[in-house]
Chain A
Amino acid sequence: MDAGAIQRALRRIAHEIIERNPDLNQIILAGIPSRGNEIARRIAETISTIEKAHIAVGTIDVAMHRDDVGTRTELPVVRASDLPLPLETKTVVIVDDVLFTGRTVRAAMDAITSFGRPARIQLAVLIDRGHRELPIRADYVGKNLPTAPDEKVRLRLGEEGSEEGVWLVNE
């Protein structure tokens, strides 16, 4: 998947979000650090261009909500979350780069509900690589990428100063 394909996928997701959510003032795009933030920013920008509406963007850190703390020798770095409050009437769209086991998304839902009770939570991902361990599915998918469990999905986005794209690697 190259830079053009990423851009087209995100544009389609933007259109789908508009279609599913008539009141864009009630939408918050909540990126999971760090690539989820960049993807959320790009989707929000696209929606703004299409609909001339301002889209709220936030960040939702999941490290302190994970279910594997204490079992890892390498702790995930925790960052502050930042969501525009209150959430009560809002639709929070969780945005992440790759959907794999679903555990990160579960942690993100847990984190979001600690800020309040949004009207609904949706999920947008650039890549769905399968192998879910929890009953979770995405509402918006950039690309379904069949993988083997031990394969890795490598993703680069522009701000890292190199060629953008998605690659499947065997390690």
Chain B
Amino acid sequence: MNTRWNRKDLLGLRELSADEINLVLETADAFKQVGTREIKKVPALRGKTLVNFFIEPSTRTRTSFELAAFRLSADVINITVAASSLSKGETLKDTAKILEANHVDIIVLRHSSAGAPQFLAERLRSSVINAGDGAHEHPTQGLLDTYTIREKKKRFEGLHVAIIGDILFSRVARSNIFALTKLGARVTLVGPSTLVPRVFEKLGVTVSYDIDKVLPTADVVNLLRIQHERQRKEYFPGVGEYIRLFGLTKERAKLLKPDCLIMHPGPINRGIEIDSEVADGNQSVILDQVTNGLAVRMAVLYLCGGIAT
């Protein structure tokens, strides 16, 4: 692997090459091993300061970034919108400039507006890591899903990945689509036509409205959460109908190949997009995703934050 990393920011997976994605995954291999050491901390980012700047609520992503930063010996502060001056009317740019004036090296940004991380990245010397921007991208989630698939399946070429649920509003789906298609996997999107418009086929994926036809050939199913907070009622057929048509119920899971991986980025709506028995069953790699998320975020922080700017 002779790929060089020369990005200070990670804004999305669309702009990364397959080689760059593979470099992150290989770097994550090394950091995953750190978690098994007696002292789970390395000095790679000693003296660097990271700000978790979360304008939208998040527990798992923020905790994962925080833990990743701790393991790399960076100092971390967390800012949530309620505690920031944004609630007093300060602009995002001004808040970010204040952070930079305090010599913050890395800003991890979660924002409800697509493009907010790019807006900051273009204006700041600090590294900016996108931790989810609107319905645009969630690159570290896409990377950790990809990492988990690579770890379990050892390949992407010829692999069939079904992404099921609310694609339209899902930044997780977009980041997964960009990464998986670049690495050679075949991606099928499944969900109600209102949430999975045909226009997605332009990204090099297949769109299907019949889950029972897709499940038997899938090597991986990635179930997305129904994002009640982003939805207007008219997009959505109603919970009962959704479960009947697209929910991964215990019955429906019997259609899957025995070695098909079941993934979910969380938080899970148990009994809606996935039955509890399935989410906790032996095909589920949902907790591996969490463990791998830490390693992938360490890799991303190391690569973006470790480079001289």
Question: Which A residues form the contact surface with B (CB < 8 A)?
Answer: 61, 63-67, 69-75, 77-82, 110-111, 113-116
Given the complex of chains A and B, what is the CA–CA distance between A65 and B72 in angstroms? 10
B43 within 8 A of A: yes
- Are B306 and A69 closer than 8 Å at their CB atoms? yes
**What's the least CB distance linking B279 to chain A, in Å?**
30
B44 within 8 A of A: yes
- Known: A73-B307, A75-B303. Is A64-B44 also a contact (CB below 8 A)? yes
Question: Which B residues form the contact surface with A (CB < 8 A)?
Answer: 1, 4-6, 26-27, 29-34, 37-39, 41-45, 47-48, 72, 302-303, 305-308
Q: Give every chain B residue within 8 A of A67 (Cβ-Cβ).
A: 43
Q: Give every chain B residue within 8 A of A63 (Cβ-Cβ).
A: 30, 44
- Are B45 and A69 closer than 8 Å at their CB atoms? yes
Given the complex of chains A and B, what is the CA–CA distance between A78 and B299 in angstroms? 9
- Residue in A61, A64, A82, A114 whose CB lies within 8 Å of B302: A64
Q: 8 A-B pairs, CB-CB below 8 angstroms?
A: A64-B43, A65-B44, A69-B306, A70-B305, A70-B307, A78-B30, A79-B30, A111-B42
Q: Give every chain A residue within 8 A of B303 (Cβ-Cβ).
A: 75
- Residue in A70, A78, A81 whose CB lies within 8 Å of B308: A70
Closest-by-CB residue of B relative to A114 is: B39
Closest-by-CB residue of B relative to A115 is: B37
- Are B30 and A75 closer than 8 Å at their CB atoms? no
- Known: A64-B31, A64-B302. Is A74-B4 also a contact (CB below 8 A)? yes
Q: Give every chain B residue within 8 A of A73 (Cβ-Cβ).
A: 6, 307-308
- Are A80 and B33 closer than 8 Å at their CB atoms? yes
- Are A65 and B38 closer than 8 Å at their CB atoms? no
**What's the least CB distance linking B305 to chain A, in Å?**
7
- Are B31 and A77 closer than 8 Å at their CB atoms? no
**What's the least CB distance linking A64 to chain B, in Å?**
4
Inter-chain CB contacts under 8 Å: number: 69
- Residue in A61, A75, A82, A113 whose CB lies within 8 Å of B39: A113
Q: Give every chain A residue within 8 A of B44 (Cβ-Cβ).
A: 63-66, 69
- Are B41 and A114 closer than 8 Å at their CB atoms? yes
**What's the least CB distance linking B129 to chain A, in Å?**
16
- Are B37 and A78 closer than 8 Å at their CB atoms? no
Given the complex of chains A and B, what is the CA–CA distance between A113 and B5 in angstroms? 29
**What's the least CB distance linking A32 to chain B, in Å?**
14
**What's the least CB distance linking A69 to chain B, in Å?**
5
Q: Give every chain B residue within 8 A of A61 (Cβ-Cβ).
A: 30
Given the complex of chains A and B, what is the CA–CA distance between A64 and B27 in angstroms? 10
**What's the least CB distance linking B121 to chain A, in Å?**
18
Q: Give every chain A residue within 8 A of B39 (Cβ-Cβ).
A: 113-115
Q: Give every chain B residue within 8 A of A75 (Cβ-Cβ).
A: 4-5, 302-303, 306-307
Closest-by-CB residue of B relative to A79 is: B30
Q: Give every chain A residue within 8 A of B308 (Cβ-Cβ).
A: 70-73
Given the complex of chains A and B, what is the CA–CA distance between A148 and B151 in angstroms? 46
Q: Give every chain B residue within 8 A of A81 (Cβ-Cβ).
A: 30, 33
- Are A64 and B29 closer than 8 Å at their CB atoms? no
Given the complex of chains A and B, what is the CA–CA distance between A57 and B63 in angstroms? 36
Given the complex of chains A and B, what is the CA–CA distance between A71 and B48 in angstroms? 12
**What's the least CB distance linking A86 to chain B, in Å?**
8
**What's the least CB distance linking A111 to chain B, in Å?**
8
**What's the least CB distance linking A65 to chain B, in Å?**
6
Closest-by-CB residue of A relative to B27 is: A78
Closest-by-CB residue of B relative to A73 is: B308
- Are B306 and A80 closer than 8 Å at their CB atoms? no
Q: Give every chain B residue within 8 A of A80 (Cβ-Cβ).
A: 29-30, 32-33
**What's the least CB distance linking A114 to chain B, in Å?**
4
